[in-house]
Structure 1
Amino acid sequence: MRNIATLTLALAAALAANPVAFADQPKAPVTPGSLAQASSIDAVLAGDWRPDKNKARDKYRHPKETLAFFGVQPDQTVVELVPGGGWYAEILAPYLKDHGHYVAAIFKPKNPAGENASDKSGLRKKFADDATRYGKAEVVEFDGNAPVFGAPASADVVLTFRNVHNWTDDGNAEAMFKAMYAVLKPGGTLGVVDHRAKPGTTLAQDKDSGYLPVDAVVKLATDAGFKLAAQSEINANPKDTKDWPKGVWTLPPTLALKDVDRDKYLAVGESDRMTLKFVKPKR
């Protein structure tokens, strides 16, 4: 009994000294190094350069827990594939600016007025206008049919968020995964987040819906040479029934039906997502 009482008192003292350490723990296990960086991630997430509309999506995208799950550290070289308008770039580039390096890899624009061109110019302007915030963050272009994201074995981490479904629809997913494998150092990490299809469905059944079977993504990665290291439910949403009239785009943030049943879809929230961590073997 004396030992139990002593332990209880010690725990109470520790909690009083550092209550944050015992509250709001991440939904997935993280490494000690990730925990050590929690305060700087918090500072980045609270940064005034992030628009309120982007911060409002943190509750769906769980950036702190997701990056911790993938083991992203501030001294690493991180390549993010097809970052769109830069939602994660506004987090990753400031986090990496002092000791690491952030690279945004985008498709080489075919249409000067298209989405890829807009993303490229927007990101480059963002980085150039606030070098103090974003450091030496850079944008690289690649050919979707023969992708190269950087020098071989030059990246510690490759991340891609809600993009693989586009690659499977376009028929270049295999090439993309092989290129991700090539740019990573041996032992490096590939982190994938995407809309998760109902179990038992196929790629053909889910084509153009935005949803992907988990086993199809795992196969793409393992066929390229990766090993599946872990899966997380950080970005799960059990309210997503995955049978919407406009596929995943029915839900926020797109809300493809505009005002039709808007409150219903807002109540569902953003899609149910797989969160997969792969590693490139050290051989």
Structure 2
Amino acid sequence: MALRSLFVTVIVGAAVSAAAIAPACAQSPLYQGKRGAAIGIAGAIADKDRPADDFARDKDRKPAALLAFAGLKPGMNVADIMPGKGYFTRLFSNVVAGRGHVWAVVPTWLVEKKPAAADAVKAIAATPAFANVSVLVQPLDALQFPRPLDLVWTAQNYHDVYYGAGADAALAFDRSVFAALRPGGVFVVIDHVANPGADPDIAKLHRIDPAIVRRQVEAAGFHFESQSTVLANPDDTHTVPVFDPAIRGHTDQVVLKFRKPAR
């Protein structure tokens, strides 16, 4: 798969372009959110507007610890890269509240391959309860947002870019994230762990060596800040595909936090 230089932007929940809404972010209904006041991480997780399937996944995904590790706060501008069905998108929306905004970013190549790839997050953005969510379809090497971001997040997807499009494409993605963040902004990468020096067929396992991720992201200009073990599973041998029923939902995952230098 190859990243496209031409990008298509789709913003759900607004009738104007990203360029047009940039000067009016504070006044636009797009930025009102579902509440005037923040409800915090615990309140975001308990929110009745989350679907039952998301609640069922909380035990394994440990969102309270992850969002706290990322430093998510009310008023933040967040990009959820390759959001899937929007599990984290909803949580981000609830935490950043009315003064913050969440952009769910679906890669152009994925929509070209699977036309319905953005449908789940489009449905979220069209729901009044999550009015501070927009959906963007863009190439990962040319990310564009109407304002600098405080946090960029990608969960269980970095391996797809690195092995699907190549190391150069992954580095281009990291550089695009770097450019989109404000100085001091945070980039969080979560992925399924592969053993160091694993067989080239590791791509079939949908895993990646954490050292590769760190090397790539630091090469884009980020400083490595910390690593969380909240999703670690020492019983995972790293040798079976992540979709194998024996390990699915319980893989050993690395959680890496990088920061764009303040200067």
Do these two structures clear the TM 0.5 threshold for a shared fold by scoring above it? yes
Q: Which residue of 2 aligns with 1:52?
A: 52
Confirm whether residue 281 of structure 1 aligns to residue 261 of structure 2: yes
- Inter-partner Cα distance in structure 2 for 1:157 and 1:140: 16
1:114-263 map, 5 Å: 114-115=113-114, 117-128=115-126, 130-131=127-128, 133-144=129-140, 146-150=141-145, 154-170=148-164, 171=166, 172-198=169-195, 200-202=196-198, 204=200, 206-244=202-240, 247-250=241-244, 255=245
1:143-190: CA deviation from partner (whole Å, max 9, x where unpaired): 24x431425x71011000001000011222111111110100111000
Give the drift of 1:119: 3.2
- State, as a whole percentage, how many aligned pairs show the same letter: 28
- Report the RMSD for the aligned CA atoms in angstroms: 2.3
- Which stretches of structure 1, 4 residues or more, deviate above 6 A after TM superposition? none
1:177–1:97 distance in 2 versus 1, CA, 3 Å: same
Give the drift of 1:47: 1.9
1:111–1:65 distance in 2 versus 1, CA, 3 Å: closer
Computing the radius of gyration from Cα coordinates, the structure with the larger value is 1
Partner letter of residue 194 of structure 2? A
- Inter-partner Cα distance in structure 2 for 1:214 and 1:190: 15
1:272 to 235, 245, 252: 252
Gaps of 5+ in 2: 1-36
Counterpart secondary structure, 2:118: helix
- Inter-partner Cα distance in structure 1 for 2:92 and 2:84: 14
Counterpart secondary structure, 1:49: coil
How many corresponding residue pairs? 224
- Inter-partner Cα distance in structure 1 for 2:228 and 2:94: 25
Work out whether residues 203 and 212 of structure 1, in 8 Å CA contact, stay in contact via their aligned partners in 2: no
Work out whether residues 78 and 157 of structure 1, in 8 Å CA contact, stay in contact via their aligned partners in 2: yes
Work out whether residues 39 and 95 of structure 2, in 8 Å CA contact, stay in contact via their aligned partners in 1: no
Work out whether residues 169 and 208 of structure 1, in 8 Å CA contact, stay in contact via their aligned partners in 2: no
Greater relative CO, 1 or 2 (CA 8 Å, sep 6+): 2
Give the drift of 1:214: 1.0
